[in-house]
Amino acid sequence: MNSTREILDGDRVKLSVAVDEKEFDKAVDVAFRRIAKEVRLPGFRPGKAPRKILEARLGVDAGRQEAIQDAVPEHYVKALIEHQIDAIDSPQFEVTGGESGGALTFTAMVPVRPKVTVTDYQSLRVEIPNPLASDEDVDQQIDALRQQFSTLEDVDRPVEDGDQVTIDIDGTHDGEAVEGLTTSDYLYEVGAGAVVPEIDENLRGASSGETVTFDADHPDPDEDGKLNFSIEVKKVQERVLPEVDDEFAAQASEFATADELREDTKKRITDMKRSQAASQARDLMAQALGELVTLDPPASLIETEVTNRLQDMAMRLQSQGMDLERYLEAIGQDVATLRESFSEGADLSVKVDLALRCVVAAEGLEPDEEKFDEYFALLATQMGSDAEDAREVLTSSGRMIDLEADLGKQAAIEWLYGRAEIVDEDGTAINRADLEPPEVEELVETNATADEEAADEGEAEEEDNQ
């Protein structure tokens, strides 16, 4: 097979492919053998009629046309791999020779991924939550712990949000008691928003011994009419939180002092924030980059992105022991509705992809052989296979072009991340060291300590030798 490539306007490539007569004749022979199994001829068992007999009965073109249908897609794929063409949609084929005899020749007009030009990407600015725990963060976490050790005390005042009220509740609909809405001595937290919002609205400001009556919309949209409520407030209690002192710290945690408790809480919150901060910054940076693209992406790329999202979801469900069809039945949706929901944001995702490819080309971030060697060595370790075998599989299948793009885009992300301005909610620049996951910092500190100890041992040994 011989093939040539011609780059055309409109994000298209023209492939011209020629399959020599001898090679194509093998495909024709295979086609006639397949036809022989389907055609019954007097004197021959199915599949045993010679090619010459079939040509005489059916015509030479019968086998050639079937062979063309098989050979054109097969050699088209080979040509894509040979020329490393990034096809994004089905091509338009035109057979230019071989239908009646001789070599098979055809052309393929291939839609390819458009190349965009992006400017002002060298210094993107993204805003993320500060990765260091604030005093407010610590207070909220400790308050949640205090809630677990809180007590209730009777109060003689109107009801406020957060109060615990003991109530007798009588809920009816068309004069009939509603199951679950009629009970005595029920402990309810005002402001919880349970059942219907009108309950909280009418309990606020009520006092112990008071009865409130009101109507409310039925929470079931299929039910007509109003719900009628009569609620007697029998007791009002407020939640009292313990003081944050050493006694509380010892009771609520493994720490002996309140200072130790606060310090540990601050560290845990900071570790959690830092473990997410760098990833969040990269995601927002990629979105900001994609928003610089003004080109409307081809519909085929958006459809591919939606399909990929759908496949990812199906794989996640499968890993949890559920197939996509059963899941859709459970949530009352179909594939078309799901695809429509996945289409939201697909446009930006495609733009991010195009913009990252632009950065790769503009900054020369294409992976070199060393980067490929690292990838295949890691893949071989993970899969328990040989690195060269893995490389050969990807090369022969034409997936090296995707791998090259993925490695390049990863490099572009890191290149942009190293130059982006990353600020917190107040616009204050975030220290890059605070974006490193805690385990990375701990590893650096451990290595530094080990280096210092090694240096100290070296100095001591040198003194002994002297």
Is pLDDT at 66 greater than 80 in this prediction?
Answer: yes
Domain CATH for 331: 1.10.3120.10
The per-residue pLDDT for range 304-347, each reduced to its tens digit, is: 999 999 999 999 999 998 889 888 888 888 899 889 999 989 99
**Same domain membership, residue 344 and residue 228:** no
Q: Is residue 208 part of a domain?
A: yes
Task: Single out the residue of 54, 37, 55 nearest to residue 46, CA to CA.
Answer: 37
71 and 21 part of one domain: yes
Q: Are residues 228 and 263 in the same domain?
A: no
Task: Give the number of other Cβ atoms within 10 Å of residue 366's Cβ.
Answer: 13
> pLDDT digits over 214-245, tens only?
999 887 777 778 899 999 999 999 999 999 99
d(C-alpha 34, C-alpha 197), whole Å? 72
Between strands 164-173 and 211-217, the pairing is: unpaired
User: Is residue 122 domain-resident?
Assistant: no
Considering the domain boundaries, does residue 8 fall inside one?
A: yes
C-alpha dist (Å) from residue 202 to 165, 219, 229, 308: 13, 17, 10, 50
Inside any domain, residue 430: no
**Is the same domain home to 263 and 365?**
yes
For 298, phi then psi, to 5°, come to: -60, 145
Query: What is the Cα–Cα distance from 385 to 52, expressed in whole angstroms?
Result: 48
The total number of structural domains in the chain stands at 4
Same domain, 202 and 279: no
Within a domain: residue 158? yes
Do 370 and 292 have their domain in common? yes
For residues 415 and 316, membership in a common domain is answered with: yes
| Mean pLDDT comparison of 191-200, 202-211, 385-394, 446-455, highest-scoring range | 202-211
CA dihedral 399, 400, 402, 405 (to 10 degrees): 180
Angle 32-34-39 (CA atoms, 0-180°, nearest 5)? 85
**Residue that finishes a domain, picked among 54, 89, 111:** 111
* Final residue in a domain of this structure, among 53, 86, 111: 111
The answer to the question of residue 267 being in a domain is yes
pLDDT at 169 over 90: yes
Give the domain CATH number at 61. 3.30.70.1050
pLDDT band at 444 (very low <50, low <70, confident <90, very high): very low
Domain-located, residue 245:
no
pLDDT at 47: 57
DSSP annotation of 87: B
Same domain for 312 and 381?
Answer: yes
Domain assignment present for 89: yes
Please report where in the chains the tokens 């759908």 appear, as a residue.
Answer: 310
Domain span including residue 341: 258-423
Residues 292 and 374 in one domain: yes
- 297 and 373 housed in the same domain: yes
pLDDT value, residue 154: 95
Domain end among 111, 140, 171: 111
Q: Are residues 265 and 320 in the same domain?
A: yes
- CATH code (residue 187): 3.10.50.40
